[in-house]
Structure 1
């Protein structure tokens, strides 16, 4: 079987070359996923050292929440413009530069002498991480078939949960054994190592050689090197509602990431390292739910794409019930079981909403589309969650504050339902504009 080389020469490659070609997309996923782990380890190690900072610097819960929210807020504000630069200047180089910035800023967090300096370091971490999720996800989706989008989006974004698990669990251990500054330093050094490895193994040329073409009718015909108009990022009500609904649901995940260790410390009297370890299990379940919910969505929507909206709504409402009851009951075994079940569905909307964003935007600006998606995820979810929950904790206590967190799923479900209703007409609008192909069979 002949194969076109990068120079356009047809040759019959040896078996080893074909094997490498089949494995390259998974190598891309693995390395991009590993950097995402580093991203969230650098971001969430802070949660494990909350008790140390509160004691050493006498910080309020609002200040502690702001140290988490500043990263998510920076990511949200800068994700779209930096993702646009990634689309235009090269996604691989952008990924490497971002990893170096957030890793050096994490090392800088270890040197902070007070709240103000640590807040600045956290801002720089957010600057480095701002477009990584969107550019990284665009790179991954480009080398896999479209029917895997919900699964891949869920799995990739679950890296945030898994990285948070490692950041919280290992951060708690390092902080207890070596001091909280070393918890930051070790995470930063790991990121630098992964950035070097990524640059050595992934290139734009290799990505172009393994890029999977969009299915007929899914994207407009553009001239070589031409990109879709940026206005198409907001051209339909459905994609805007997907942005908002997905972002609101991540308010719950953001609060869990930031405050579960402290909740277990205060409600159960656990030591910081043990609280971090137990919280890590719940966050791991949350990440597994992102993968599992994405796989469920792809299976149910293979022949009827409308089911992506249905599953997203179902996941949001399920998390509302399980977490709402869980935080309402007294600490104990029943609460632990309910919280574990609720965590599985807490971020289950990421796979279906991410897949719908991909379906409703063009590949040439998909990193920018995911940058917009990241903006809403962070502004409405990962930034708002820790900060608002921290403010509620200062006023009512953390145990009471956590009872209000699941209620945000109601708003998320409403916006997703509106997106579901707008989806058929949005597909027709895309088809008429020549951006999304035909809407036939997708309702």
Structure 2
């Protein structure tokens, strides 16, 4: 029962994380009208969060591994929630940009530390499913942030949209502090099963930080997964504005429709994770194959969606493309877990978060915004699916490197590669 309490509360805080991050997309039209912001400026307000997350994910994840993951999670949640309340008080673009930066500081290591906490209390055979389900909270939080934010902005003004998100995060942080602690986590910890865990350290030794990049396969997982999330980042940030401009929808309706597609993306993350675990149960290398398939399908259907005129056909193509757009999250998370040791797993997921944000969630919104200023948003969105092509190439290379990488890990165990030295 306790592991599922851990999952529920950690999942809930990731909801809050993305509600605070993505509520901004719902109020783009209000900020553009009130402050006269350009699309590049609007994109930068989204990207500054992801950029801060990417830059700080690894060092703050390392702090979480050393200082205590529960304590780190609560502090992070309080910081991003207070910063979200600060957005509600912003007097202009500069103030809002600074508050958004602090949201990124608070959120930087949450996904990696939170996922490490979740995976520590469940068996290894569920990794892709749990990773996909946990990270799907990002999509569901985005849905709630965009839909609820659009409703609040229309009814009460855009500042209330930020205020409600901030209060929600503070309430969840309090519950986490009361119900979860390091002692309970240690009592419910599930060690890697023999033959399925990474061969990087003896069970009770801390692996060296150099092992985060010790094999080609894990590097390809980091970079390939990050590039695929370029697409998700662009969709999170710009779908409400796309429906507002290309489909002539009112801001609140555009936010609701965009929220539906983001919800589809979240459902796809869960289903793709479950498929990956089932397919890879007997042949772990098949997890790479599923990731390649998910990225390929994304390119085909989103490329077609943004190439046709707005209408019913476009909506259907867009729905299929969104379903698979973040489907690589579960497989890449499972591969990183497979190729790194539990003692530094939060730091490993922090490294994955670095690539996910710098290459994906930060780059996507701002590059799409720059293209929108020059070419128009409808044209800019046509270029977004091309990121999947690069992701497919890198994931294919990771699949080829995987057998040799596993052999290298097994050799590291037999030679005591992690003996001695600090992590």
Query: For 1:414, which of 393, 399, 403 is the aligned residue?
Result: 393
Deviation at 1:436, TM superposition (A): 12
1:53 positional shift: 0.2
Once the 2 structures are TM-superposed, how far is the Cα of residue 221 of structure 1 from its aligned partner?
5.1
Asked if 1 retains the 8 angstrom alpha-carbon contact of 2:53 and 2:104, the reply is: yes
Residue matched to 1:222: 202
Query: 1:220 Cα deviation (Å)?
Result: 4.7
C-alpha contact (below 8 Å) 2:200/2:340 kept by paired residues: no
- TM normalised by structure 1 equals 0.92
1:261 paired to 2:240:
yes
2:335 match? 356
8 Å contact kept, 1:84–1:368: yes
Q: CA shift at 1:222, angstroms?
A: 3.2
Equivalenced residues, count: 414
Deviation at 1:213, TM superposition (A): 1.1
Give 1:309 shift: 0.4
Q: Per-residue deviation at 1:223?
A: 6.8
SS in 2 for 1:59: coil
Matched with 1:180 is 158
User: Which residue in 1 is equivalent to 2:139?
Assistant: 161
Q: How does 1:39-188 map to 2 (within 5 A)?
A: 39-188=17-166
Unaligned 5+ residue runs, structure 1?
A: 1-22, 438-443
Q: Write the distance in 1 (CA, Å) between the matches of 2:286 and 2:415.
A: 18
CA deviations 1:356-414 (Å, max 9, x no partner) are 00000000000000000000000000000000000000000000000000011000000
Spell out, residue by residue over 1:92-138, the C-alpha distance to the aligned partner (whole angstroms, 9 max, x if none).
00000000000000000000000000000000000000000000000
Q: CA, structure 1 residues 365+308, in 2 after alignment: closer, same or farther (shift >3 Å)?
A: same
The partner residue of 1:270 within 222, 238, 249 is 249
Match for 2:175 among 194, 197, 200? Answer: 197
What CA distance in whole angstroms lies between the structure 2 residues aligned with 1:119 and 1:259? Answer: 18
Where does 1:212-251 land on structure 2 (aligned, <5 Å)? 212-217=190-195, 218=197, 219-220=199-200, 222=202, 224=204, 226-251=205-230
Q: Which TM-score applies when normalising by structure 2?
A: 0.97
Q: Distance in 2 between matches of 1:167 and 1:220?
A: 40
Q: What per-residue deviation string (whole Å, max 9, x for no partner) do you get for residues 204-254 of structure 1?
A: 000000000111242455374x31000000000000000000000000000
The match for 1:7 is none
Q: Confirm or deny: 8 A CA contact 2:13 2:173 kept in the other structure.
A: yes
Decide whether the 8 Å contact of 1:148 with 1:298 is kept in 2.
yes
Gaps of 5+ in 2: 417-423
Mapping of residues 25-40 of structure 1, within 5 Å: 25-40=3-18
Residue 300 in structure 1 maps to residue 275 in structure 2:
no
Counterpart in the other structure of 1:9: none
Measured against aligned partners, the alpha-carbon deviations of 1:173-221 in whole angstroms (never above 9, x if no partner) come to 0000000000000000000000000000000000000000111242455
Deviating beyond 4 angstroms after TM superposition, the runs of 4 or more aligned structure 1 residues are none
Output the CA distance in 2 between the equivalents of 1:272 and 1:221.
53
RMSD: 1.1
Paired residues of 1:430 and 1:436 also in contact (CA < 8 A)? no
CA distance in 1, matches of 2:227, 2:292: 12
Instruction: Work out whether residues 215 and 408 of structure 2, in 8 Å CA contact, stay in contact via their aligned partners in 1.
Output: yes
TM-superposed CA distance for 1:49, in Å, is: 0.2
Aligned counterpart, 2:409: 430
Please give the alpha-carbon distance, in whole angstroms, between the structure 2 residues aligned to 1:259 and 1:214. Answer: 40
State the match for 1:389 in structure 2: 368
Q: Distance in 2 between matches of 1:436 and 1:429?
A: 11
The alignment status of 1:282 with 2:279, answered yes or no, reads no
Give the drift of 1:435: 8.3
Larger Rg: 1
8 Å contact kept, 2:86–2:99: yes
